[in-house]
Amino acid sequence: MTKLLVNNIKLSLNDDEVIAISKAKKVLKKEHINEKDFSFSIYKKSIDARDKNNILLVYTVLAESEYEINTPYSSNIKPFPDLGMSFKRGDAALADRPVVVGMGPAGMFCALLLAENGYNPIIIDRGDNVEDRIQVLSRFIQTGVLDTDSNVQFGAGGAGTFSDGKLTTRINDPKCFYVLRRLVEFGAPEDILTKAKPHIGTDILVNVVNNILHEIEVLGGRVIYRCKLTDIHEHSDHIELITSQGSINAGSLILAIGHSARDTYRMLLSHGLIIEPKPFSVGVRIEHLRDDIDKALYGRFAGHEKLGAGEYNLSDTKGGRGVYTFCMCPGGEVVPATSYEYGVCVNGMSKFARDGKNSNCAVNVSVYTNDYGNDPIRAIEFQESLERKAYTAGGGDYFAPIQLMGDFLEDKVTSSPSRIIPTYADGNRTTVTNLNNILPNFVSDRLKEGFKLFDKRIHGFAVSDAILTGTETRTSSPIRIMRTDNLTAPSNPLIYPCGEGAGYAGGIMSSAVDGIKVALEIIKKYKP
């Protein structure tokens, strides 16, 4: 069988997709490949809006043949990547069931693959199931009563459940397509298979998460909510987990704990796991009117049904310290993302339709290990100190500090929101203040440079009444739990650090892929 990707097929917004198939056939014919031996389908499509007067849709077409065909590859014809999912089961005996700690993408996909291959995993999380998480978050937004175990960070689906459900990634791993296919099987829209920048949206993602966790149980796994890992006791053939629901024995322990499990980091350090600090980033959320962003990106084509809400991705690395946008949420809202008392941090969320009035995005500045003392505990404390400052600046009760762009650039407070209304906690729990007093100088100074530069790339990015909300501190883990080539902790071959919380991923896709990699290592070593 032969599978080819025919790339860089450009169509206008008015063209039908069947034209992309026709053009793909012509590309094969030009290379003296018999196109009649192939069937064709759309594999990916993206938007080229560099020329606002001539916005194009760029397609990649998948050509499949049941024959083995030797083809001359060119810049426009590439072999379809092998998904790399073939494996053999090992013959070593597990002393007990594998236990996965954390129900984010890494934990769920790890547990799912183990369950599908007969390993009957247990997956635990300190937070609630999806339905209860929604209620807990709603109560927090309305009352300011924080549940430190179930919130935006902790619970079924992890932090990604209350996000844009963005499925883009910088990793080039064929398992990404496997993840997309599985998400569709569990209820995600089919267009994520073809969009270059796919997203699910939190309103659909909650059902996908439910379906995956239910499937794990159907296959013989066990899902335990409100089960917080507090300690571990290491034995020669198993790990005893001390949890809020009693002790659980694990034949192998997968630590997919997420990037906000600071108490778990501290516990693991006390047990001698090798944990190193790493660079991360901090900053603010910026909000614009969605219509303004759409017009800035697409000009007269703004609102076209084939374009949807405008997305951007901006960065600048000149000067040695990067400033960049992260997790852009078109037509979304800013959500309270704290998981610890007396701290304020934010994240972005949007529904599948992306039809909210505002669009928001994190704008973050790189923080290097020498900025905080090159120590894992100090890395955690650096994040915590900013969140506590934000809590104080907001006036307490988890009100978020906000500031208008013009005032931030001039280091003053003169104005309150009017044209653009903040969406944090439905716009009801914010306090106008000076964010320059919260952020370190190297962060606020670099943000100002970045805002001005990004305004040259997207007209109106630094408009004076754009809303800035602080603080954005949870873009990635500040530490890395070290692991060997077979993905186990150097100090214990039964422990598998995994996903974003362990420092090996960043976002839904790369986290899910890392969970799959860990599951494959366990399958390769142990029999069910």
pLDDT by position in tens, the chain (length 528): 899 999 999 999 999 999 999 999 999 998 888 899 999 999 999 999 999 999 999 999 999 999 887 776 778 898 887 666 778 899 999 999 999 999 999 999 999 999 999 999 999 999 999 999 999 999 999 999 999 999 999 999 999 999 888 898 877 788 998 999 999 999 999 999 999 899 999 999 999 999 999 999 999 999 999 999 999 999 999 999 999 999 999 999 999 999 999 999 999 999 999 999 999 999 999 999 999 999 999 999 999 999 999 999 999 998 789 999 999 999 999 999 999 999 999 999 999 999 999 999 999 999 999 999 999 999 999 999 999 999 999 999 999 999 999 999 999 999 999 999 999 998 889 999 999 999 999 999 999 999 999 999 999 999 999 999 999 999 999 999 999 999 999 999 999 999 999 999 999 999 999 999 999 999 999 999
Does the domain at 2-79 match CATH 3.30.2350? Answer given as no
Task: Tell the residue number behind the tokens 């031996």, with chain if given.
Answer: 37
Instruction: Give the pLDDT score at 166.
Output: 87
Enumerate the domain spans of the chain: 2-79, 98-276+481-525, 280-472
Instruction: Give the pLDDT score at 221.
Output: 98
Q: How many CB atoms lie within 10 A of CB 18?
A: 10
| Whole-number Å distance between alpha carbons of 198 and 232 | 39
Q: Is the peptide bond before 194 cis (omega within 30 degrees of 0)?
A: no
Q: How many CB atoms lie within 10 A of CB 74?
A: 12
| Whole-number Å distance between alpha carbons of 58 and 349 | 27
* Environment class of 350 (CB within 10 Å of its CB; exposed 0-12, middle 13-18, buried 19+): buried
Supply the Cα-derived Rg of the chain in whole angstroms: 24
What residues contact 175, with CB distance under 8 A and at least 6 apart?
83, 84, 85, 513, 516, 517
Fold match, 2-79 / 98-276+481-525: no
Q: How many CB atoms lie within 10 A of CB 236?
A: 6
* CATH number for the segment(s) 98-276+481-525: 3.50.50.60
Cβ distance 208 to 103 under 8 Å? no
DSSP string, 462-475: T-TT-EEEEEE--S
Instruction: Give the pLDDT score at 499.
Output: 97
| Whole-number Å distance between alpha carbons of 38 and 164 | 36
**Phi, psi at 35, each rounded to 5°:** -65, -15
